[in-house]
Amino acid sequence: MPDIVEVVQEIAEEMRQRPDRGEVATYIPELAGVDPNQFGLAVIDTEGHVAAAGDCDVPFSIQSVSKVFTLTLALGKVGDRLWSRVGREPSGSAFNSIVQLEYEHGIPRNPFINAGAIAVTDVILSGHKPREALGEILRFMRFLADDPAIAIDEAVAASEQRTGFRNAALANYMKSYGVLENPVDYTLGVYFHHCALAMSCRQLAMAGRFLAQRGKHPVTGLSVVQPERARRINAVMLTCGHYDGSGEFAYRVGLPGKSGVGGGILAIAPGKASIAVWSPGLDASGNSHLGRIALEALTRRMGWSIFGA
Ligand code: GLU
């Protein structure tokens, strides 16, 4: 088995030198100014050994990677009843597509496209004030990452709140079908804020560890979710975690993963490791360009694809 510390260093060096870096997301103005030359990678195995390189300690906007954690919280709150509000099939369309919602009567295809994540956020919000719901999400992230310093970047949240017309359209459309219970502004406010969580690769890999180790919290050993639920969240990540690029990601990387337009990806090698990679430039599907290439190199060299070496 190759040495993971060396492999991570090699990959970070290879990615630093590549000229093709993708395009930074500009539709959220605050993200448009992020330097595309950054690259970070952190791998934490199930025993807690860390291999990290590049800009692995620089906080970035995790954006849609937060949807893995809000899905976990919503399942904890309402259990499998969640699946009457949101589906679990790949969408085959863009992350912010509105056309499918009309065909499917306001029920989003899966919890990782924007419409689905807004519906999941609404479930977490019910019975709470927006501030309380956000507090719950933030506490959950700090608990999982074992790091009380994790925070929300208010400038990013405000930037998206000012310009998130497409998400407002999706939310209003779902509200018209009764899929959202709370005032649209409240649900969107919580959604924009959890997308604006700022975390480093090291913190994010730590937060994802419970999915690599059958639902157990890495430090306390307590159960975050049952093993069956961890397995199912991984399944939804594999099939839906990269929007319209989910098939390509499974083909090339072969791990459950969730991307965000900030350029981060959380990938899970079940029973082996939790991996976070960040490079801000995106490909045409809105997924980190170098992040995907780096993960492909990592799984190939380590033999970690769930489909075999
Ligand atoms: N906050 C972003 C949006 O709703 C998340 C999209 C993403 O990261 O893919 O547009």
Ligand 1 atom nearest to CA at 195: 1
The b-or-e profile of 271-299 (16+ CB within 10 A means b, else e) is ebbbbbbbbbbbbebbbbbbbbbbbbbbb
37 Cα: distance to centroid of ligand 1 (angstroms) = 21
What pLDDT, on the 0 to 100 scale, is given for residue 280?
A: 98
Query: Does 160 have pLDDT greater than 90?
Result: yes
pLDDT tens readout for residues 200-225: 999 999 999 999 999 999 888 999 99
Give the chain's largest Cα–Cα span: 54
284 Cα: distance to centroid of ligand 1 (angstroms) = 14
Percent above pLDDT 90 for the chain: 92
Q: Any residues with CB less than 8 A from the CB of 289 and at least 6 apart, and which? A: 20, 21, 22, 279, 281, 282, 283
The amino acid occupying position 115 is A
Percent above pLDDT 70 for the chain: 100
Residue of 251, 249, 243 lying closest to 275 (CA atoms): 249
Token output for 108? 């989003």
Ligand 1 atom nearest to CA at 196: 1
**How far is residue 162's CA from residue 153's CA, in Å, rounded to a whole number?**
15
* Contact predicate 141/150, CB 8 Å: yes
Mutate to test the pocket of ligand 1, among 67, 70, 195 (most ligand atoms within 8 A of CB): 195
**In terms of C-beta distances under 8 Å and separation of at least 24 residues, what long-range contacts does 108-111 make, across chains too?**
108/174, 108/179, 109/240, 110/86, 110/236, 110/239, 110/240, 111/67, 111/70, 111/71, 111/74, 111/82, 111/86, 111/236, 111/240
Query: Does 161 have pLDDT greater than 90?
Result: yes
Residue ranges of the alpha helices (H) in 126-258? 130-145, 154-163, 165-176, 184-195, 201-207, 209-212, 227-240, 246-252
What pLDDT, on the 0 to 100 scale, is given for residue 97?
A: 82
* Bridge pairing between strands 281-282 and 50-54: unpaired
Query: Which residue lies with its CA nearest to atom 4 of ligand 1?
Result: 114
Pocket lining for ligand 1, CB < 6 angstroms? 63-64, 95-96, 114, 160, 167, 195, 260-261, 286
Query: Which residue lies with its CA nearest to atom 2 of ligand 1?
Result: 63
> What is the distance in angstroms between the CA of the first residue and the CA of the last residue of the chain?
12
Token output for 207? 């937060």
Query: Does 194 have pLDDT greater than 80?
Result: yes
Active site residues: 64, 67, 191, 243, 261
301 Cα: distance to centroid of ligand 1 (angstroms) = 31
Strand partners, 151: 198
Whether the domain at 4-60+201-302 and the domain at 64-195 fall into the same CATH topology: yes
Side-chain-side CA neighbours of 251 within 13 Å: the count stands at: 5
49 Cα: distance to centroid of ligand 1 (angstroms) = 31
For 274, the enclosing helix (H) or strand (E) is strand 273-278
Please give the average per-residue pLDDT across 157-185, as a whole number: 97
Question: What is the overall mean pLDDT for the chain?
Answer: 96
For 278, the enclosing helix (H) or strand (E) is strand 273-278
Mutate to test the pocket of ligand 1, among 26, 27, 28 (most ligand atoms within 8 A of CB): 28
- Quote the pTM value: 0.97
Residue spans of the domains in the chain: they are 4-60+201-302, 64-195
Please give the average per-residue pLDDT across 105-125, as a whole number: 96
Mutate to test the pocket of ligand 1, among 27, 62, 64 (most ligand atoms within 8 A of CB): 64
Chain CA centroid to CA 300, Å = 22
Ligand 1 atom nearest to CA at 64: 8
Dihedral over Cα of 266, 277, 295, 94: its sign = positive
Kindly report the CATH number that applies to the domain delimited by 64-195.
3.40.710.10
What pLDDT, on the 0 to 100 scale, is given for residue 50?
A: 98
36 Cα: distance to centroid of ligand 1 (angstroms) = 18
Please give the average per-residue pLDDT across 163-169, as a whole number: 96
261 Cα: distance to centroid of ligand 1 (angstroms) = 6
Kindly report the CATH number that applies to the domain delimited by 4-60+201-302.
3.40.710.10
